A and B are shown apart, each in its own frame.
Chain A
Amino acid sequence: MPTTTSDALLILKPDVLSGPFAHCSRALARDTVRGLLAVYGGAPTTSYEVPTSACAVPWALRNIDRKVLARSWYTRTIHDADVHLAALWDLLRSPGLAGDGGTATAELVLDAARALGFTDVTRERRICSYRDFLGLYARNAHFTRLAGSLRDYLVGKDIDVVFFEGSQELTTLHVLKEVLRRVVRYPIAHYDAVENLVHVSDPGATDWTFFAHVVGSTRPEAAVPSA
């Protein structure tokens, strides 16, 4: 069943922090927001500034619809649509996304999440340890296929771990991820689960539980007990 409230986990991955996708053009950022508006019925689906977005957004929509059909918890529902669609329009017209030039992709992600109704309550930038890598992916369906690539991509690199609070469908963050990675990262190519900019997890999932224990904790690591 879809969940309506909770503390969601979102992790900004290395590419979006310091890699080649740390910044994107403002035009792409605006198209990303337009894509979100398209998902939730707040904008026409054909008016984009970057040529690739005209294909990328419908591609994202097809993927989202496929997931809605395949997964019981995945939904295109958004609560308080008037409020949050208005917030997305405000973001689209905000000074930070106006005109030419670039913008920080991480800030675009967080601003979009806030527009959807989430508040970031805990945020920690940390170097991804080997344990973090396992905590993030050990129970993930992609692990056995991509473990080596995921390890090489993540371990020793910066990640930004954000816990959100909000009274919104958790799926909206998954939808944000889907639109962002398609419009900004993979507008014309198929993607795999490695360099896809952000990771989203819902409360109770093993990766959510892991980071809930290790992020923001002031307790020292347990010492190695002597046998």
Chain B
Amino acid sequence: MVVPGIQLHDIPDELIPREPRLGGSCVPIPTSRLMALAHSGSAVLGLHTGHLHAEKFASSVLSELHSLLRLPDDRTCVLVPVTPDVVAEAVAHEGWATHLEVRSRGAASAHWRAGRRSRVEPSAGVGPPPVIGVVAREAHGWLDDIRVAEPGTWTAVDLSRTSCPVARPVIGDIDVAFFCPSWLLGVVPGTTVVAMSPRAVAASDCGPHPTGEHSRWEPGLRALLTPRGLASCGVTATDLMMFGHAVREMAESEPTLLEARIDARLAVVRSWAQDRTWITQEPARPGHDLATALSTSIAPETIRALGAFLEANHVVYGLTGDDRPDAFHIGLYDTIAIEDLTRLLDLLDFVVAATVGR
């Protein structure tokens, strides 16, 4: 990708972040997490996934996760080898979710909304319960919205890329809460934590198929939650080992202070943005997002070209996205050094001045 007016050798060395995974769609997995894979030695890695000790390890990790999320004992909590959009799709296929209303606005919300099953209107008597779906990072004030919902309302919330799972004790109040742990815990993407209320577990046991058939083996949540052990849950021992270390590290690092650490990074971005006339909105964290979008007055094609140029040269990854083509997406993760965040902001000054002269 070539951007007129700028090449790698034009960028001063001191403006290049040492950690390129600074964009909102990237996960700056700490090196310690990778090194941790070696810590187990011969204990788990390499064992077949149904092995006694592999199973015991999986159980211990989930137990620690349950504690970290401050879940009530009656909550079911698992790690599944699918992305959150698959879990959202599973929710949308549940029999109890025929009246799912996805209230947030954004790319993930639109995808979830589009995947809803056909609405079946009740013929008589009590109808299906209202179900509120929310992608937290795409909604301001979603928690208040749920709190004022009518009694009996079901809730399903995608908490991916937010600090909510550990910073706020909210999961225990949601019927189906799920999140990709990569952003929050600094692990490789590809898995999803799913926590469910007893009624959601019970109702998902055997729901009616959209075609009218009745089966225990629908492509809904039950298929993801059936406790068939590590072997069939499909999460690799490598992913589980990395996840286990991340859960332990988060539990030991004052999770209640996480929000303050993320807000400190947002404050750096906000302070810098104040004097930039090409930034059109104050940077924010809707839904306790772990990333922020810098809305700009720059043409989307220029934003896209700059993002591609920086990615192609391994300077910054994930700075742009199709869901907000006018914006730079900046990660505020705890694993990002403030020094690198500052470098990124100075770099944005440089590339914007070089390409659009502002």
Contacts and interface: CB of A to CB of B under 8 A. Distances in A.
Interface of A: 129-132, 134-135, 138-139, 143, 147-148, 209-210, 213-214, 221-222, 224-227
16 contacts: A134-B8, A138-B8, A138-B312, A143-B314, A148-B31, A209-B9, A210-B9, A214-B9, A222-B10, A224-B12, A226-B353, A227-B276, A227-B278, A227-B352, A227-B353, A227-B358
A30 B7 CA distance: 42
B275 A227 contact: yes
A130 B9 contact: no
B12 A222 contact: yes
Contacts of B18: 130
Given A210-B8, A227-B277, A134 B349 contact: no
Interface in B1-18: 7-13, 15-16, 18
B314 A147 contact: yes
B328 to A, nearest CB: 13
Given A130-B18, A227-B349, A227-B352, A221 B314 contact: no
Contacts, number: 57
A148 B314 CA distance: 12
A135 B9 contact: yes
B82 to A, nearest CB: 25
B173 interface: no
Contacts of A213: 7, 9
A85 B312 CA distance: 42
B35 to A, nearest CB: 11
Nearest to B347: A224
B354 interface: yes
Contacts of B346: 224
A128 to B, nearest CB: 10
Nearest to A132: B13
B309 to A, nearest CB: 11
B8 A129 contact: no
B313 A134 contact: yes
Contacts of A222: 10, 12, 350
A138 B358 CA distance: 28
A130 B13 contact: yes
B3 to A, nearest CB: 15
Query: Which of the listed residues B18, B278, B313 has the most CB atoms from chain A within 10 Å of its own CB?
Result: B313
A10 B352 CA distance: 34
Given A225-B350, A227-B353, A135 B8 contact: yes
A32 B10 CA distance: 39
B291 interface: no
Query: Which of the listed residues B8, B11, B16, B276 has the most CB atoms from chain A within 10 Å of its own CB?
Result: B8
Contacts of B10: 222
B349 A225 contact: yes
Nearest to A211: B9
Interface string B1-42: 000000111111101101000000000000100000000000
The 7 A-B pairs with the shortest beta carbon distances in the complex, nearest first, are A225-B353, A131-B13, A213-B9, A129-B13, A138-B314, A221-B12, A227-B349
Contacts of A224: 12, 15, 346, 349-350
A131 B16 contact: yes
Contacts of B350: 222, 224-225
B241 interface: no
Contact of B349 (A130, A132, A209, A226): A226
A159 to B, nearest CB: 14
Contacts of B275: 227
A166 B42 CA distance: 55
Nearest to A223: B12
B303 interface: no
B126 to A, nearest CB: 56
A168 to B, nearest CB: 27
A209 B7 CA distance: 10
Query: Which of the listed residues B12, B276, B315, B349 has the most CB atoms from chain A within 10 Å of its own CB?
Result: B12
Given A210-B9, A214-B9, A134 B16 contact: yes
A191 to B, nearest CB: 23
Nearest to A131: B13
A143 B352 CA distance: 27
Nearest to B315: A134
B1 to A, nearest CB: 11
Contacts of B352: 227
A141 to B, nearest CB: 13
